[in-house]
Structures are given as structure tokens and as C-alpha cells.
Amino acid sequence: MRTRFAPDRGLTSRMVVTMFLLGLLYVVFVGALVALGVRALTVLLIAGGLLLAQYFLSDRIALYGMGGREVSPREAPELHGLIDRLCAMADMPKPRVAIADSDVPNAFATGRDQKHAVVCVTTGILRRLDTRELEGVLAHELSHVAHRDVAVMTIASFLGLVAGLMTRFALYSGLGARRSDGQGGLPVGLIVMVVSVVVYAVSFLLTRALSRYRELSADRAGALLTQRPSELASALVKISGDMARIPTRDLREAAPFNAFYFAPAAAPGATLANLFSTHPPLDRRLRQLSEISAQLGRG
């Protein structure tokens, strides 16, 4: 379903390449397990069931985890009005609208497609941003729905889930077991655990790289739709600055949803963890928005 959001071939190609590489890695992973004689069918079936649940129920799971609830136009007329306007501009179906009672200033979109999507904002972001800044954030989130990168990220997390389950399976059931041919060597469980850790690390890096690019893509698409990149930049600066004032405990509770958030729930600062962040550095996002402002000005 096409929309008026600016298409991003770079994002599309990265999603295809990431899914191909993860699929190839998954085949190699299963082949290695079979070669080792591991009875991993049960674990794989469980992981597959979790993938289906995560894919089809991702919107409900995310809302539940964030403590969000759907709101009607009567309960939140201004928020609904902004989303109505943006959806009309983008020529896309209106998603469900939700609010999470949290002081962490953030927003996220989730759902497997445009017809099963939800956009959620926190009470913290509603208090801090003015109407135009909030419109920029909502345009950013709607672009995730239009580009379907939320669904791709949900699927891409499957291999990491399988590898994590296999690591636990090896730890709790077969760490001490030797090869069945009686030739000794390393325990099968230890080999499975090492292979699983390597697979998890590779899938983690691939999904993180895609996640960082998709945030830049959403910034670009949202800014071009509203034609006001400066308002989105202002929202980014406000939210990133206020993260340092949020209690560490609240940030920790919100951190598991960072891959879906508009901005990571973490205090700003250059650390080693930024190398594995779900989002690009703030200065990179602001620089891109500044470039878009210059292009629009020349136009």
C-alpha cells in the first residue's frame, strides 16, 4: 500500500539484505545443530510460535509492556487531530492511537502493516513538546508504519530469539554431554552454546545496523512530509536533553523498547554502548535535518 511518504530505496535494500543474511545465518545455524545431533526441534518450534505471536500481536505486546492504552478522539482530540491531518497528507489509513502514562518523553509505532498499526505517545512527551514539534515526531512514527520497517524488525529479531533459547537449552540440558560416538572431545552442549552465542552476536549487529538506518530514514521522510525539519530537530533536542533528568530506574524499565522508540531511553553521552545503539547519534540526526532544511530552502 503506497503512501505519500518519500520512498527510501536505501532502507528497502537494507531490509532485503538484512533479511537475506539473517535467513542464510539461520540455515547455517540449523545445519550446525543437525550435524551435532542436537534434538532442537522442540526449541525451534517454541521459537517459531513466539515469532508468530510477536508478529501478529506486536502492537498489543508493546502497548501492554509500555502501559499504554488506546484513546478515543473524545479523550485526546488534539492528538487525534494531528494524526488525522498527517494521515490525510500521507494518504494512508489511520492507525489506532494510544497514550502511555510515563514521564519518559517518547513515542513509538508498531504493528505488522498499515491496517494493524498503533501509534503511542507518552504523557511525558505531550507535556514537553508544542504542537508542531509533536507533529514532527508523529510524522516520524507514521513513516515507520508506511515503510513497514517495524514488521521487518520484528521478523529480524527471530534468529536472535532462537539463538538465545538454544544457549539456555545447552546450559540446562546438555553442557556435560560428550559426543555420542564415544570419541571424547568437547561436550556437545558447549559447542551448541558457542555456536548460539556467535549467531546471536551476528544477528544482533545486523539488526542494530538496520535499526540505526531506519531511524534516519524516518527522520527524513517525516521532515519531508511536514516540510518543517526544524520542528523535528527541536523535538529531538528537547527529548534528548530531558532524558538526563529522568530517574535511572524509569529509563531502565523503558530500555527494552528502545528499538521502537523515537529516541533511546538513555542519558546522552558518548560511550562504548553507542556502538551497539538502536539509534544513530543525535548530532548525526540533527545534521541530516539541517541538510534537508537547506534543500527545502533552495527549493
Residue type, 212: R
The cell for 78 is 488534539
Question: Which residue is associated with the grid cell 527541536?
Answer: 234
154 within 8 A of 102, measured Cβ to Cβ: no
136 within 8 A of 293, measured Cβ to Cβ: no
12 within 8 A of 210, measured Cβ to Cβ: no
Starting at the edge strand that comes first in sequence, how are the strands of the sheet with 96-100 ordered? 68-70, 96-100, 117-122, 107-111
Question: Which residue is associated with the grid cell 521487518?
Answer: 152
Catalytic residue among 133, 135, 141, 231: 141
CA dist 292 and 237 (Å) reads 17
Question: Which residue is associated with the grid cell 500521507?
Answer: 90
Instruction: Please give the backbone phi and psi of residue 158, each rounded to the nearest 5 degrees, phi first.
Output: -60, -45
Beta-strand relationship, 68-70 and 117-122: unpaired
Q: In terms of Cα–Cα distance, which of 79, 92, 86 is closest to 131?
A: 79
CA dist 143 and 215 (Å) reads 10
Whether 291 is a known active-site residue: answer no
Residue type, 83: I
The three-class DSSP label of residue 100 is: strand
- Residues with catalytic function: 141
